[in-house]
Amino acid sequence: MKDKKKAILQILIVVAAIALCTFTTLVGFTGKHLGSAQNIKLGLDLAGGVSITYEAVGKTPSKEKMEDTRNMLQKRAQVYSTESSVVVSEGGRITVDIPGVDNAEEVLSGLGKEGSLDFVGQDDITFEGEKQTKPKYDNKDIICSGQDIKDAEANIEQDQQTKQKKYVVNLKLKTKGTKAFAEATTEYAPQRKIIYIIYDDEVLSAPAVEAEIDNGEAVISGGFKTYEEAEQLASMIRIGALPVQLKEIQSRVVGAQLGLDAIQTSLLAGAIGFALVVIFMVIFYRLPGLASSVALVFYLVLMLVVLELLDVTLTLPGVAGIILNIGMAVDANVIIFTRIKEELAKGKSVQASIKLGFDKALSAIIDGNVTTLIAAFVLFIKGSGTVKGFATTLAIGIILSLFTSLVITKLLLNAMYVLGIDDAKYFGTEKERKVIHFVGNRAKFFAISGALIVACVVVLGINKAGRCDGNILNYGLDFSGGTTFDITFNDDQKIDSSLKEEVEKIFMDESGSNDVVISEIAGANGLSVRTVELSDDQRANITNKVMDTYKVKQNNIENENISASVSDEMRTDAVVAVIIAVICMLLYIWFRFKDVIFAGGAVLALIHDVIVVLLVYAAVKISVGNTFIACMLTIVGYSINATIVIFDRIRENLKSKNDIAAIEEAVDASITQTLTRSINTSLTTFIMVAMLAILGVESIRDFAIPLMAGIICGGYSSVCIAGTLWYSMKKHFKTGKQRKSTV
């Protein structure tokens, strides 16, 4: 009786927690709707924001200086939102788009300000003014400037003497700054002299030099009462000095680029997909499927609460990512339920099967999610812009899905068992499956994969030869830049969805591309239109068509070419982040499985999946933009997770067996035993993404279609490639060792 009361209480607590999160999501607390989903910051594509255009003062700077300035402004803008976009236009102009802000004055004061950041030693500085606060020094006495700063970030460290936590700023300098800083600190360290950090004639900080710093990495400590104070100094140092002096020539509020329809269709796709997944789970896994569905609801509402609390900016790819995470969150539950059914098939009791199911599934779940979490962490640290935003959402999703599957689902199942739902028929039993000889058919699988890889190379080559721009992929505005039009309509012209569709058709007909992004200009009865780069004749034709169709005066139509919003630096950051993430995952798998061949097999299968998705982009000529980065990163996380589940079962079945025949038997048995899990996880994830492809707007389809291919390929590579590839490498190295020992 006592156990039943406890079980009822546990179920009520879960239901209450879901209700609380739902209330928080829909309504929130206090007059400011604290915790409410309506407070989640939306990206420029969903909610619009502020667009500010600057122009270089004086002579038009070189391309290199403009690019340096753009990169600096990108770092400044990311203080407001990681999804900010900065593009270079003609005539020394730079446009900054910041989502989630509706007041340009909030950002104008510091964003494009020509700040002067200098590091000056105390021997070379004097102070003037009534309170002796205005620093005076010569340019020749500057140790290093803002342009010598690589990065600055706030951190928390432990004081070696007091053992108390302290707030510090970690400073990293570029090569030139490192040398100058080393010389200055060598001179100042013996007397603990001060190096002043000065921004626009104001002393930001005056740290004393305690030791020579010759590696370009310094720590500024002392005087910070809160983390926010340290972050404020780090932010000012990061801002540095712009290479080009700018003046603001225009600021405006722009509307959402995709509009309300995009959100509604994505949410509808998510709702339908979620319902289908719940139905599938209940039918296939019965009572455990029902428990996991309740846990999934908890996961979803908790995800929205955390997004608001952590102040994450949510773009449309982010919405798609959350919907995708619902499908992926099922994975841990599927692994557990498969284990429970296996134990029931062995004749174990329901209670024992539940316990053993969770215990045996734990290592695969932890290893799979930790590897993906490692990737997310590296991407957050090394990435920028969309990559950083994606990494944040991915990490949150992984942590919450682990909690709901390992804690909430287990709690519900145990509570239901105590309440009398203890018959094995409510759980189902795993039927004995005839072992499939995957290893024996590995040559066929390798041939199929080889053909896909060759096809990718061929298609990329054909694209490069056949495209007038020589690109191997159909790069969109984010990667290749384009042309932007600002059109101010007459006051009697109503701006609605039909007008946007008409304008979009004009641009598509003239440019021959469907890559057109339209947003409203608030307070100006106008539209801002971005498309691929147009020739002078194409610009003139569009201008004439708009003038004739809508009776717009020519001086109310402005156009200019713009650079890509994804800079070379951001692309490099993304590639470097992925490479480091793959290496870190390889090392983790090597450590956990005590076998580097496991790690090598997993990474090769992952690369295989990425190549196949790349083939889809190239063959279907899908526009490559920010969603391309998100898609590839999703495949990296998804593919490695599925592979580790099979490797975990191989490790379990192999145990101490070491001969080739036993290894082959273990691989075939392991893949067969996990086959249902592999199919079901791929199916539930595919359902969610398919709904996006069917109901989503075009930009979401560009994300969903290659992702669907990646899910199918990820399932195929995990089942047919990863394990058999591991066997082939294991056999090769083992045979090689035997030959050497014989010789």
Strand 557-562 versus strand 482-488 pairing type: antiparallel
Instruction: With H, G, I as helix, E, B as strand and everything else as coil, classify residue 313.
Output: strand
499 CB-side CA count, 13 A: 19
| Residue-wise pLDDT tens digits, 20-65 | 877 776 665 544 445 555 666 666 666 667 777 888 877 878 877 7
Helix and strand numbers (H, E) in the chain are 22, 19
Quickly tell me which residue has 């909690």 as its tokens: 403
Q: Quote the Cα angle for 319-321-322, to 5°.
A: 65
Determine which helix (DSSP H) or strand (DSSP E) holds 291, and give its type and residue range.
helix 260-309
Domain ranges of the chain: 49-114+249-254, 117-241, 260-429+439-455+567-742, 482-562
| Residue-wise pLDDT tens digits, 520-554 | 776 678 888 888 888 888 888 889 998 988 888 88
Q: Give every CB contact of residue 408 below 8 A, 6+ residues apart in sequence.
A: 14, 294, 295, 298
- Residue 699: both structure tokens together: 């930009």
Q: Quote the Cα angle for 642-646-652, to 5°.
A: 145
Distances (CA, A) of 365 to 330, 483, 586: 11, 47, 17
Whether the pLDDT of residue 395 is over 60: the answer is yes
634 CB-side CA count, 13 A: 33
Whether the pLDDT of residue 720 is over 70: the answer is yes
Quickly tell me which residue has 């190096």 as its tokens: 195
Distances (CA, A) of 376 to 65, 133, 312, 710, 720: 32, 45, 15, 18, 26
CA distance 626 to 703: 9
CA distance 346 to 726: 29
Instruction: Find the mean pLDDT for residues 350-355.
Output: 88
Residue whose C-alpha is closest to residue 459's, from 614, 667, 578: 614
Mean residue pLDDT across the chain: 80
The amino acid at 315 = T
CATH code 1.20.1640.10 for 260-429+439-455+567-742 = yes
CA distance 326 to 297: 9
Whether the pLDDT of residue 684 is over 90: the answer is no
Residue whose C-alpha is closest to residue 667's, from 729, 739, 592: 729
Q: Give every CB contact of residue 17 below 8 A, 6+ residues apart in sequence.
A: 298
pLDDT at 259: 54
CA distance 553 to 546: 9
- Residue 21: both structure tokens together: 């999160």
User: pLDDT: is 313 or 362 the higher one?
Assistant: 362
Q: How far apart are the first and last CA of the chain?
A: 72
Going by the DSSP 8-state scheme, the letter that residue 148 receives in this structure is G
- Residue 358: both structure tokens together: 């969770």
Contact (CB, 8 A) for 306 and 36? no
Walk across the sheet containing 195-199 and list its strands: 142-145, 117-121, 195-199, 202-205
Conformational region of residue 216, where left means phi above 0, alpha means psi within -120 to 50, and beta covers everything else = left
Q: Quote the Cα angle for 597-600-606, to 5°.
A: 140
CA distance 77 to 730: 50
Instruction: With H, G, I as helix, E, B as strand and everything else as coil, classify residue 298.
Output: helix
Going by the DSSP 8-state scheme, the letter that residue 208 receives in this structure is B
Distances (CA, A) of 316 to 151, 389, 495, 630, 704: 29, 12, 23, 11, 12
Contact (CB, 8 A) for 439 and 724? yes
- The lowest-confidence range among 34-38, 431-435, 660-664 is 34-38
DSSP secondary structure string for all residues of 216-273: SEEEEESS--SHHHHHHHHHHHHH---SS-EEEEEEEEE--SS-HHHHHHHHHHHHHH
Q: Which CATH architecture fits 117-241?
A: 2-Layer Sandwich (3.30)
Quickly tell me which residue has 């070189």 as its tokens: 62
Residue whose C-alpha is closest to residue 296's, from 267, 263, 273, 320: 273
Q: Give the ranges where 429-554 is alpha helix by DSSP (H).
A: 442-466, 477-480, 497-511, 536-550
Q: Give every CB contact of residue 495 below 8 A, 6+ residues apart in sequence.
A: 489, 520, 525, 526, 527
Q: Give 482-562's CATH code, choosing from 3.30.70, 3.10.450, 3.40.50, 3.40.1350.
A: 3.30.70
User: pLDDT: is 588 or 79 the higher one?
Assistant: 588
Say if 49-114+249-254 and 482-562 have the same CATH topology: yes
Give the best-scoring range by mean pLDDT among 190-194, 301-305, 618-622. 190-194
- Residue 421: both structure tokens together: 């739902």
- Burial of 421 per CB tally in 10 Å (0-12, 13-18, 19+): middle
Neighbour count for residue 721 (Cβ, 10 Å): 23
pLDDT at 671: 92
Instruction: Find the mean pLDDT for residues 606-626.
Output: 85
CA distance 436 to 438: 6
Instruction: Find the mean pLDDT for residues 290-314.
Output: 82
Quickly tell me which residue has 């495209």 as its tokens: 467
CA distance 267 to 319: 8
What is the distance of C-alpha 115 from the center of its chain?
Answer: 31
Whether the pLDDT of residue 437 is over 70: the answer is yes
- Burial of 1 per CB tally in 10 Å (0-12, 13-18, 19+): exposed
Give the best-scoring range by mean pLDDT among 443-457, 567-581, 665-679. 443-457
Going by the DSSP 8-state scheme, the letter that residue 159 receives in this structure is -
CA distance 379 to 370: 14
CA distance 300 to 673: 30
pLDDT at 420: 82
CA distance 613 to 638: 13
- 3-state percent helix, strand, coil for the chain, nearest multiple of 5: 60, 15, 25
CA dihedral 261, 264, 266, 269 (to 10 degrees): -120
Instruction: With H, G, I as helix, E, B as strand and everything else as coil, classify residue 547.
Output: helix
pLDDT at 281: 87
| Residue-wise pLDDT tens digits, 468-501 | 667 788 777 777 777 888 888 888 888 887 888 8
pLDDT at 450: 93
Q: Quote the Cα angle for 105-111-112, to 5°.
A: 105
Neighbour count for residue 162 (Cβ, 10 Å): 8
Residue whose C-alpha is closest to residue 149's, from 72, 77, 63: 72
Distances (CA, A) of 77 to 85, 179, 312: 8, 29, 15
CA distance 132 to 536: 58
Q: List the CATH code of the domain at 49-114+249-254.
A: 3.30.70.3400
Distances (CA, A) of 653 to 235, 648, 662: 53, 9, 10
pLDDT at 368: 81
